């Protein structure tokens, strides 16, 4: 019995080493910090001055249809070519944009924001925490 316990502990310790290394060094590890990265905006700041931003949703169209930030327009990578003209036409000159998608580590908002920066001289921000952060703030 004691030998089995020692083996179980040894296996658990051996498994913990690669798990910890992966958690620290994996290129797609979740970012649990609250520090803003370049190009990001905090949900509290963006929502406090929501009317000062042009809101762009990078989620799928069916998610946009269900619920979105008031006044947001849809623009995602799958429908980029068909949605971009309306976005560019409705984007007030010089007004900063906030792009959001679902989930804390969503690449869609980052990719849409990067592409939009090529088309417009106004600042384009990614909403830190995305749609879930917006909803959480609204529930408070």
DSSP letter for each residue of 107-123: HHHHHHHHHHHHH-SS-
Q: Which stretch of DSSP H or E encloses residue 17?
A: helix 2-25
Q: Closest Cα to residue 84, out of 94, 95, 75, 92?
A: 75
Residue 51 domain flag: yes
Predicted confidence band at 9 (pLDDT cuts at 50, 70, 90)?
Answer: confident
Residue 95, domain member (yes or no): yes
**Three-state SS at 128:** coil
Q: Give this prediction's pTM.
A: 0.76
The per-residue pLDDT for range 21-56, each reduced to its tens digit, is 666 666 665 555 568 888 999 999 999 989 999 999
Q: Is 99 part of a structural domain of the chain?
A: yes
pLDDT for 18 beyond 90: no
Provide the domain count of the chain.
1
| Residue 64, domain CATH | 3.40.250.10
Q: What is the pLDDT of residue 52?
A: 96
Range of the domain at 47: 40-139
């Amino acid at each position: 019995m004691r030998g089995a316990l020692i083996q179980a502990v040894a296996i658990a310790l051996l498994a913990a080493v690669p798990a910890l290394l992966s958690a620290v060094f994996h290129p797609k590890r979740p970012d649990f910090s609250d520090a803003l990265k370049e190009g990001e905006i905090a949900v509290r700041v963006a929502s406090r001055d929501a009317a000062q931003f042009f809101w762009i949703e990078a989620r799928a169209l069916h998610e946009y249809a269900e619920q979105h930030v008031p006044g947001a327009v849809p623009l995602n990578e799958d429908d980029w070519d068909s949605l971009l003209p309306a976005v560019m036409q409705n984007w007030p000159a010089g007004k900063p944009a906030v792009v959001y998608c679902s989930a804390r580590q969503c690449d869609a908002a980052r990719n849409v924001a990067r592409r939009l920066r090529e088309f417009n001289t106004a600042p384009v921000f990614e909403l830190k925490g995305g749609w879930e952060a917006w909803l959480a703030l609204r529930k408070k």
